[in-house]
């Protein structure tokens, strides 16, 4: 059905379409009979995966950015995702960058966004995550900083967010790689990253439960890192003892694009990112000897794309832009095809 309605949706502003679908998914999640019906439509075989101490019913998740405020995750879960990553969440509410800020590149099966972490803030999102998680769903939260936070104070934003979400999320991801918040990617530098991750890990250890349990903490990296920069980041991540990485965020590269809007600023996602993201996953796997769990994201449009990332060393995969172009059946297509 989605291929039939997609031409009509693609005539509308992409951010408006996203808001419309978001509202529909929120209703699905709020009405148990409707949610049960949708869940039956998209029922999947279980393909359990173990990663960073958690059990996932299948390896396919929803990437951060789709449900920034956590209002639609219950409806999204009915589509069969094994995990959903909410966010990126900043401590305080903010409007993000000025629209237009989301663009389709249809010929390239891609998106460019420069949203800039718009959202209702941490307290609002935390309230949205209070509901019971059914059918083994794993829920992660992607953490960012406010636009007006000086980079030198970024650690304070991350620490505040970790203290809010560690008790209620299954895992946390530090987003230090979005190209749409000025200066944020500088946090991936070796010394700066070491200071940030050490502070986060120290706070995490301080707040451990009596039985020694703690919420898994991952880092999301940019695909635009050089091999040397990636190796430095991995050295820090493994030295500090974080639980995994998400590879990758959107790219600022525009190589090979043919679609309208290709010159817009922002982060590029979708099919053009597939190869670079997979190559980076392979390098991470090799450099860490396969000991660091990887969530692979970037350009997955079908089961073959997901398999490439899993074969390269990812334990889990995530989709976003593929969902825009292929529709809600993509999750079932991937899981069934693996």
In whole angstroms, what is the distance from residue 237 CA to residue 190 CA? 10
In whole angstroms, what is the distance from residue 322 CA to residue 111 CA? 10
Catalytic residue chosen out of the listed positions 95, 177, 178, 253:
178
For 184, residues 6+ apart whose C-beta sits below 8 A from its C-beta are: 144, 145, 151, 154, 175, 176, 177, 178
178 is catalytic: yes
Q: Tokens 């999204």 correspond to what residue?
A: 76
Tell me the residue length of the chain.
338
Pair of tokens at residue 132: 């019971």
Which residues are annotated as catalytic?
178
């Amino acid at each position: 059905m989605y291929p039939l309605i997609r031409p009509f949706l693609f005539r509308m502003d992409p951010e408006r379409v996203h808001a419309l679908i978001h509202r529909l998914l929120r209703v699905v999640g709020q009405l148990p009979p409707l949610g049960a019906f949708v869940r039956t439509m998209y029922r999947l075989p279980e393909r359990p995966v173990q990663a960073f101490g958690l059990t996932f019913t299948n390896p396919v998740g929803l990437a951060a950015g789709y449900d920034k405020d956590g209002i639609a995750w219950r409806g999204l879960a009915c589509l069969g995702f094994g995990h959903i990553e909410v966010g990126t969440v900043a401590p305080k509410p903010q409007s993000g960058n000025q629209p237009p800020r989301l663009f389709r590149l249809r010929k390239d099966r891609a998106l460019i966004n420069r949203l800039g972490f718009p959202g209702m803030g941490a307290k609002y999102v935390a309230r949205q995550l209070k509901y019971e998680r059914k059918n083994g769903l794993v829920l992660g939260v992607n953490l960012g900083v406010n636009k007006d936070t000086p980079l030198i104070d970024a650690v304070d934003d991350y620490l505040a967010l970790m203290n809010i979400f560690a008790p209620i999320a299954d895992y946390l991801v530090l987003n230090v790689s979005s190209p749409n918040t000025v200066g944020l990617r500088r946090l991936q530098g070796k010394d700066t990253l070491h200071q940030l991750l050490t502070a986060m890990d120290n706070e995490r250890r301080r707040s451990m439960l009596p039985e020694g349990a703690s919420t898994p903490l991952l880092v999301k990296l940019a695909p635009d890192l050089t091999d040397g920069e990636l190796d430095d980041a991995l050295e820090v991540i493994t030295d500090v003892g974080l639980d995994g990485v998400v590879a990758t965020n959107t790219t600022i590269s525009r190589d090979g694009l043919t679609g309208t809007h290709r010159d817009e600023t922002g982060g590029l996602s979708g099919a053009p990112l597939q190869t670079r993201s997979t190559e980076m996953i392979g390098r991470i796997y090799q450099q860490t000897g396969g000991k660091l769990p990887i969530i692979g994201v970037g350009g997955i449009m079908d089961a073959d794309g997901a398999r490439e990332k899993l074969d390269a060393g990812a334990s889990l995969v995530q989709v976003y832009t593929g969902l825009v172009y292929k529709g809600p059946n993509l999750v079932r297509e991937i899981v069934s095809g693996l």
